[in-house]
Structure 1
C-alpha cells in the first residue's frame, strides 16, 4: 500500500489539501484501464469514454495491460483501490475480454478509496465516434453541461437499472453549478431500458429553424452507440450507503467583522470614521482665508468688520 508521507514543500501540502474531504467535493475523476486480455471493441469503448470525459482533466486512461484484477473478488479488487488512491479517482471503468464474458465492461465507484459498488455489462453492439463522424459533426464546448434522458419504467423499478442510472449520472455529470446557460446544453445522453438490455446513445442537440421564435430541436447521433446486457453487479451495504450519503446541512461560515444581516435591508456593514477636523485638513487656501486673518476678523466688532470688507473690495476694484 502507499506510504503515508508528510508534506515537505508547499506544493505537496496544497496537493494533500486538495485531496482532503470537503463539504463541497471536487469533480469526480474516472480511471479507465485494461485487463490482462482485451478486444478491439473494449479498447474502442474505453477510448471513446475517455474522449467524452477528459474535459477539464477529469479522466485518466491507462492503455497497458493490468494483471490480477478481478473486481468481484475481495482480493481481486485491491489493485483497483490502490490505483484509486494513487490517481485520486473515485470512478473506474475496467475493460476485459474472455470466452466466458466477451467484451466485458465494469463500471465501479469508490468511497474513501474503498470499493462502493460495481456493475458488469457486456457490449453486444458498438459503433464508435469515428464511425459516426462525430469529430466532424460535433465538438462539445468547453464547460458545457450534458442532458440525460432515461426512457423506460425499469429505471425506477429494477435494481440493476437504477444502479446503472446512478452510475451514468456520476460518470458524466461533471462539476455542480448553480446556474446553467441554455446555449451550453449542446448534447444529451439517451438511455433506453428493455427487458434484458440497455441502449446507450450520445447525441448532439441541433437547433433548426421552425418558422417561429421557438427553434426545432433535432438530435444527431454522434457516438459512441452501445447495446449492452446486464451481467453481475455488487451493491453497497446499508451502513456504507448511509455513510456515503451523509451530508452537512449548512456549511459553517466564517464570521466577518462589522457585517450583519437584516431582514429588511439584507447585508448591513459598519465602518469606522474618525473625527474629522475640517479646519486642519491640508488644502490649498486663499490668502484671505488664513487662520490668523480669520481669527483677527472674528475678534473685530461688527462695524469694523464691514469697514474692513469694504476696504478689501475697493482694493480689488483698483487692481
Structure 2
C-alpha cells in the first residue's frame, strides 16, 4: 500500500499500520472532523497541540464567565441592567456547556480493580503440547511468567494462541504437559466467545452486579462512570446484553472482568472492540496494573506499549518465550533466522 500510486481510503484502529502507511489522517471527534497531513506520529503531535490550545481556551472562557457573572450580580444588587452584557454572558455559558459536553463524550479513564498481591509464583507452563487430529498447534511449550509481567502473544492465525489461554483457564486439556497457577494467583479471562454474559440483563446490570460504586484502594468510583469509560454511555447502559452489538458485548465482557479483582488477566484480542481513545486508556490501565497479564492481539502498537515479555508462535508448532517487547522479539527473531521475512502478528 505504501508504494501504491493511487489513492487508498482505509478505516482502521491499527496505529502501527497508520504510522507506517498513512500520509494523511482524518479524525472524527465529537461531531467534528480534523485532517492532518502525515502519519500517526504526526497526527499525535498535532492533536496534542490542539488539545493544549483547547484547554487554554476553556480556561479563558471560565475566567470570562466568572467576570461576567460577578458584574451581573453587582448590577442586579445596584438595580442596573445591561442587555448586551447579559447576551454576552449567555453566549459564554452556551460555549462553556458545549465544551463540557465534549469532555463528557470523551469519557473517563479505564481503571482495573486491583487483586490480591502476587507471590513469587504466578504461572508456570511446562512441556505443553496440543494437536487437533493430525494438525499440530504447538509442542513442548515451557515458560515461567514473572510477577508484574505483561506478556504479548503473537503469531499467525491458527497456531494455537487462543487455545493456550483456554488450557491455562482449565477450559481445555493439553495433550501433554502441565499448567500450574501460583497459590495467590486469581485469574480473570476475557475470551472472544462472551458466553458468560447474561442476555436478559442490561449492560449496566451485567457489569455492576448490583453495586453503585467500585473501590480502587482508598478511592471510590461511581459505577456509571466506570461503565462509561468503556464507551458504553447513556441509553446503551440500559440496553439488554442480548440486543447489543458484538463490539458492545466485547466491551461489557472486558469491563466485567477488569472489575473482578484479579491479579492475572488473560485478554484475547481486546483491541478488536475498542476505538483508539478507549484502547489508549486500556494501555495506560495495564501499564499501571500491579498484577500480571497475558494479551493476544494483532495490534502491534498496542502490544509494544504494554508488553515486556513476548510469546511467539510459529506455523511449525514451535514457540519462543522472549523477555522484551514485541518489536524487540521480531528483531531478535530475524537476527536468528534471517531467511524468515514473514513478520505477521
Tell me which protein shows more helix as a share of its residues.
2
Q: Using CA pairs under 8 Å that are at least 6 residues apart, name the structure with larger relative contact order, 1 or 2.
A: 2
Normalization by structure 2: what TM-score?
0.21
Normalization by structure 1: what TM-score?
0.22
Which of these two proteins has the greater Rg computed from alpha carbons? Answer: 1
